[in-house]
A and B are shown apart, each in its own frame.
Chain A
């Protein structure tokens, strides 16, 4: 069965600082990988996705993520964090066949200090 681990429950960074959120997955084949962001009381917005090809993917709002097969990781990065980035971030893995439902990590809450 597939699983996703986000080791950091809560991260605080200063505005303008760089950010890296960690994600490790367990899956028997090449996974489809996603990062979603959720503001309080809201649904999930897709930031970026990896299906195949270039292992460095660009997303919305200046985010990027790098797929490293050898480390089973898909870490999310942003060079300069803005106060509006404060939210909960979820990494998810999906299958490329069948129902294609996603398995989510437990999330990382990002706080941004002025």
Chain B
């Protein structure tokens, strides 16, 4: 078990472009979370999956954001028509059934220029 894996670690994109991030959770963890962290702040909840079902989305998740978790394994987070305000660290976390502690990946640092 290598922990939660996120790819890429860094992404620089031009404003208006689409980007997609991938998260591979700890195997057999059925809960998967996406968080966003801006400079000097704590992570903020974006969305949550239990298996393949997306059960909750934060108000932070505008209609330009979409997340999927096909087959309840890895997850992708896509941002369409990126804006400079989307620049942040995007963190993925997973947890197992009946366990509340979440294990975080290293994050994807997005810079929109």
Tell me the A residues contacting B by CB distance below 8 Å. Answer: 4, 32, 34, 36, 41-46, 49, 51, 90, 92, 94, 96, 99-107
CB of B100 within 8 A of CB of A43, answer no
**Can you give 17 contacting A-B residue pairs, CB < 8 Å?**
A32-B100, A36-B104, A43-B104, A43-B105, A44-B91, A45-B104, A49-B100, A99-B48, A99-B55, A100-B31, A100-B95, A102-B43, A104-B42, A104-B43, A104-B44, A106-B41, A107-B42
Which B residues lie within 8 Å of A107 (CB)?
Answer: 40-42
User: Which of B41, B48, B104, B109 makes the CB contact (< 8 A) with A101?
Assistant: B48
Secondary structure class of chain B's binding surface, majority of residues = strand
CB distance from B63 to the nearest CB of A (A): 21
CB closest residue in chain A, given B50 = A99
Name which residue of chain B comes closest to A104, CB basis.
B42
Q: How many residues of B contact A (CB 8 A)?
A: 26
> Which B residues fall within an 8 A CB radius of A?
4, 6, 31, 33, 40-45, 48, 50, 55-56, 91, 93, 95, 100-107, 109
Q: How distant is the Cα of A98 from the Cα of B6 in the complex, in angstroms?
A: 25
A105 to B40, CA, bound (A): 11
Instruction: Using known A-B contacts A46-B101, A99-B55, A99-B56, determine if residue A105 contacts B42 with beta carbons closer than 8 Å.
Output: yes
- Residue numbers in A under 8 Å from B6 (CB-CB): 43
Query: A91 — nearest CB in chain B belongs to which residue?
Result: B42
* Nearest-CB residue, chain A, relative to B3: A43
Top-6 shortest CB links A-B: A104-B42, A43-B104, A44-B104, A43-B106, A99-B48, A101-B45
CA of A103 to CA of B100 in the docked complex: distance in angstroms? 13
